[in-house]
Amino acid sequence: MAPVAHVLFNKIMKFNPKNPKWLNRDRFVLSNGHGCMLQYALLHLYGYALSIDDLKAFRTVDSITPGHPEAHDTPGVEVTTGPLGQGISNAVGLAMAQAHTAAVFNKPGYDLVDNYTYAFLGDGCLMEGVSSEACSLAGHLQLGNLIAVWDDNHITIDGDTNQAFTEDVLKRYQAYGWHTVTVEDGDNDLEGILNAFKQAQEVKDKPTLIQLKTIIGFGSKQQGTHGVHGAPLKADDIKQLKEKFGFDPEKSFNVPQEVYDHCHKASASGAAAEEEWNKLFAKYSEEYKGEAADLVRRQKGDLPEGWEKNLPVYTPADAAVASRKLSEIVINKIFDAVPELVGGSADLTGSNLTRSKGSIDFQPPATGLGTYDGRYIRYGVREHGMGAIMNGLAAYGTIIPYGGTFLNFVSYAAGAVRLSALSQIRAIWVATHDSIGLGEDGPTHQPIEVLTHFRALPNCMVWRPADGNETSAAYYVALTSKHTPSIIALSRQNLPQLEGSTIEKAIKGGYVLHEQEGADITLVSTGSEVCIAIDAVKLLAEKHNVKARVVSLPCFEVFDTQPKDYQLSVLPDGIPSLSIEVMSTMGWEKYTHEQFGLNRFGASGPYKDVYAKFEFTPEGIAKRAVQTIDFWKGVPVRSPINRAFQQIL
């Protein structure tokens, strides 16, 4: 891919290595992670922060050049891709973000935002289902600002692609609504490559896939075989290869000065382009002060001043409401106050309740379905593609993305969610139908293990709010956390507004909802089970002479960041604790002595009947609370928080 990279960086792309965050730079995404050394070489040659020593330290623990580049570690790396198919899907998100940002901020005579997104991808990327989801949507959205280059070398790790991948890729992409171009000799035909890019740029209403026919390991003894895929060449092969291309075989990591000089011309051209852009933006700022200030603010990741005043606040006098509906209320309240909030649903708008009243769909104007400045995205039934696209939307720098689906189907997008966390991206999952409380849809839709899975993921906040104030708190923390994705798990069934809940308490991730002097036990719960725990308190007092306190723990990850003395005030020494959640009990031992959960699949039926079947009722909780007290009677009780602090590094 070196020839096409050479043409792209020297003849096509606009970028300024001195300012890798310039808004109107062209984006380059390397979807095929195995070409990462090429990306590092490009970043070094064109004057990004990478040095020759960085390249020499490739894949060592002291290097900023890991085997698969990470966006937050290395300047010039736009997105963290790694698993195949993610990069091209991220590129779709970047292209969507550019189209939206241009539609919002560009004015007559002020084309502030007109960059392209370029992506390199391989056969493996085309095989992964996530790329099909994202590319299908890209074709529908008519993203003429997206140009992808397919490295068609007929090789994957297992060998020739004729073993498993014989479809007509170009016809598939044409069916998606893409423009396609073929370059027969990607190893030598620089003019043909240049013309392919120029032709792609002329097509304004379709993304383009350039089929670039190449020979893997071109010039080596193993060229054209899978033996050169992902493995270093032997010393004799490296020597003959260097001689073949005119390099001194005795020198390693040696870059002739004329190469630097040649590449730096492109960098200087990019710096000049940014300087002209800065002048244009200065004039824009005089004529459109509000828009200019908003654009600057967005790029900093800051939220509009006072936006949080729009978050709804509740009292116990307010009606019981499903937390998915409470989420919709939050979205409606803050939508105008946070204009960078752009989201949608994977074909579950009426169930996820993710669309703000009066919002416009993000659609190509030619379809008559919406406009590019619309803020509601119709993802279709494409959860994984939605997750990867959200990563691209967030990486662009002017959008905070959210996406809706059932909590159980966030698992479909686990690969993308993991990369959100690893990439330190602010993306929000509106995950409704969060438990056996969804009822008749049954075990296939009732998530049991999903929260445990994502709670185990570093740098990912999993919220399960119990009422309106906790839902507002979840959105507050999700939106103010610039470098962390969030999953907000929301109920289908109505939940009462709880006495003692406030936004201020809930943003700590866990708090005492009901205090009781001389308590015998602490009941700890999340989401729809909190109100059942509250009902159990009265039952315990009346029928068992047991005093209970109740803790709501809507977000483990946020609670874990609180000072130890606060955590111990919530989950103190001296009395046993019991967790109550209609999910897997795994992970709860960190917070409670005993766990009441669901380590099996759910059941189909009206949600109250399903809860009764598994004894998630005041009576069922009271029974287990008494058993917990009896078991721990006469034993010095130390809070699990103390044990956890000793074990965690």
Residue 445 known to bind ligand: yes
Q: What is the DSSP letter of 110?
A: B
How far is it, in rounded angstroms, from Cα 485 to Cα 425?
Answer: 6
How far is it, in rounded angstroms, from Cα 95 to Cα 120?
Answer: 14
Structure tokens at 17: 């290595």
Angle formed by the axes of helices 289-300 and 257-287, nearest 10°: 130
Catalytic residue among 70, 78, 274, 383: 383
CB 140 within 8 A of CB 413: no
Residue 441 known to bind ligand: yes
H or E stretch including 624?
helix 618-632
Residue 492 known to bind ligand: yes
Residue 351 known to bind ligand: yes
* Dihedral, 418, 415, 423, 7 alpha carbons, nearest 10: 170
> CA quadruple 432, 436, 439, 444: dihedral positive or negative?
positive
Count of CB atoms situated within 10 Å of the CB of 332: 17
Spell out the residues 6+ positions from residue 334 whose beta carbon is closer than 8 angstroms to its own.
307, 310, 311, 341, 475, 479
N residues, the chain = 649
SS (H, E, C) 415-471: HHHHHHHHHCCCCEEEEECCCHHHHHHCCCCCCCCHHHHHHCCCCCEEECCCCHHHH
Strand partners, 552: 511, 525
Burial profile 5-31: b = 16 or more Cβ within 10 angstroms, e = fewer: bbbbbbebbbbbbeebebbbbbbbbbb
Residue 82 known to bind ligand: yes
How far is it, in rounded angstroms, from Cα 402 to Cα 428?
Answer: 4
CA distances from 312 to 208, 321, 446, 468, 469 (A): 45, 13, 29, 8, 7
How far is it, in rounded angstroms, from Cα 510 to Cα 554?
Answer: 6
Q: What is the DSSP letter of 233?
A: P
Q: How many alpha carbons lie under 13 Å from residue 394 in its C-beta half-sphere? A: 34
The burial of 293, by beta-carbon neighbours within 10 Å (0-12 exposed, 13-18 middle, 19 or more buried), is given as exposed
Q: How many alpha carbons lie under 13 Å from residue 58 in its C-beta half-sphere? A: 16
Cross-sheet strand order for the sheet of 511-514: 511-514, 548-552, 521-525, 577-580, 594-596
Q: Is 383 a catalytic residue?
A: yes
Residue 83 known to bind ligand: yes
* Nearest to 93, CA basis, from 428, 424, 422, 387: 387
Residue 124 known to bind ligand: yes
Spell out the residues 6+ positions from residue 31 whose beta carbon is closer than 8 angstroms to its own.
81, 84, 85, 86, 87, 88, 90, 91, 119, 120, 121, 122, 125, 131, 148
Residue 433 known to bind ligand: yes
Structure tokens at 97: 């973000």
User: Which residues are annotated as part of the binding site?
Assistant: 34, 82-84, 123-124, 153, 155, 229, 324, 351, 409, 433, 441, 445, 492
**What residues are designated binding site for substrate?**
229, 324, 351, 433, 441, 445, 492
Annotated binding site for thiamine diphosphate: 34, 82-84, 124, 153, 229, 409
The catalytic residues are 383
Known binding residues for Mg(2+): 123, 153, 155
